[in-house]
Amino acid sequence: MSSALIGIIMGSDSDLPVMEQAVEILNEMEIPYELTIVSAHRTPDRMVEYSKSAYARGLKVIIAGAGGAAHLPGMVASQTTLPVIGVPIKSSNSIDGWDSILSILQMPNGIPVATVALNAAKNAGILAARMLSPFSEEITKKLEQFRKVNEIKVLQAVEKVKKRFPNDYDE
């Protein structure tokens, strides 16, 4: 059995630059993952095998990125009981990304797929970590640290803007 808790899949290697955002955040939080290509259209048997074996292999969440018709997240969700997070990707054959967004977002009742914004694999990684957080004190602590770092970055930006445009707010 693998030590991976999160599976990251995509329909094509052209999706990798977007899906690497999920890898980066999971690496930052030290959450083990696996990453591979699983095409709903070109390798349907591989997709079914991946989806049906995911739970037995120890995965807890699957992040599935897809562009164009973007059937991968929904088809994977139809084959597993694990939560699936869909990442719509603006691909070279995309209709401005809307085809991917709607293909993932508009799932029929009974086959839920959590959907993040276009090309937002980082948010998918964070959401997957949050799904695991109630079961792991380590992941909860990493998420708290991540939240705190984001807060500090915003407050630093506030000070930078305030120096350039002085005002009385927060005095």
**In which band, very low, low, confident or very high, does the pLDDT at 165 lie, cut at 50, 70 and 90?**
very high
Who wins on pLDDT, 30 or 2? Answer: 30
Separation of alpha carbons 12 and 9, rounded Å: 9
What's the CA gap between 8 and 157, in Å, rounded? 33
CATH number (domain holding residue 110): 3.40.50.1970
The domain tally of the chain equals 2
User: Is residue 32 located within the same domain as residue 48?
Assistant: yes
Annotated binding residue 99: no
User: pTM (2 decimals)?
Assistant: 0.94
Both 128 and 157 in a single domain? no
- 42 and 146 Cβ atoms separated by less than 8 Å: no
Q: How many residues does the structure list for the chain?
A: 171
Q: Does residue 13 have a known ligand-binding role? A: no
Q: Classify residue 51: in a domain, yes or no.
A: yes
Same-domain status, 63 and 110: yes
Same domain as 157, residue 117: no
Query: Is 170 in the same domain as 119?
Result: no
> Does residue 104 share a domain with residue 65?
yes
Token output for 141: 């602590």
Phi and psi torsions of 23, nearest 5°: -60, -45
Distance of CA 99 to the CA centre of its chain: 18
| 12 annotated ligand-binding residue | yes
Q: Does residue 171 register a pLDDT over 70?
A: no
Mean pLDDT along residues 40-45: 96
- Tell me: do 79 and 145 sit in the same domain: no
